Amino acid sequence: MSRIFQIACFLILSALTTYSQTPSLATVTFTIDFPSSQPEHYSIRISSDGTGHYQSSGRISANSDDTESFDLDFNTTTETREKIFGLAAKAGYFKKDVDSHHKGLAFTGKKVLAYQDAQRNGESTFNYSTIPAVQDLTSLMQSLSMTLEFGHRLRYDQQYQKLALDDELKQMETLAGTNQLVEVAAIQSILDRIIADPAVINVTRARAQRLLERAPAH
| pLDDT one digit per residue (tens) for the chain, 218 residues | 455 545 444 444 454 444 344 458 999 999 999 998 889 999 999 999 999 999 999 876 666 677 789 999 999 999 999 999 999 999 999 999 999 999 999 999 999 999 999 999 999 999 999 999 999 999 999 999 999 999 999 999 999 999 999 999 999 999 999 999 999 999 999 999 999 999 999 999 999 999 999 887 66
Asked if 188 and 215 touch (Cβ cutoff 8 Å), the reply is yes
State residue 60's pLDDT score. Answer: 65
State residue 21's pLDDT score. Answer: 40
State residue 64's pLDDT score. Answer: 65
Report d(CA 212, CA 218) in Å as an integer.
Answer: 12
Residue 12: inside a domain: no
Residue 10: inside a domain: no
Residue 72: inside a domain: yes
**Alpha helices (H) in the chain, listed in sequence order:** 2-21, 78-90, 132-160, 165-177, 188-196, 202-214
Residue 43: inside a domain: yes
Residue 16: inside a domain: no
Name residue 65's amino acid. Answer: D
> pTM for the full model?
0.86
List, in sequence order, every residue forming a beta bridge with 115; answer none if it has no partner. Answer: 28, 122
Residue 13: inside a domain: no
Q: Which structural domain range is residue 99 located in?
A: 24-214
Number of structural domains the chain divides into: 1
Residue 18: inside a domain: no
Residue 5: inside a domain: no
φ, ψ at 76 (rounded to 5°)? -105, 160
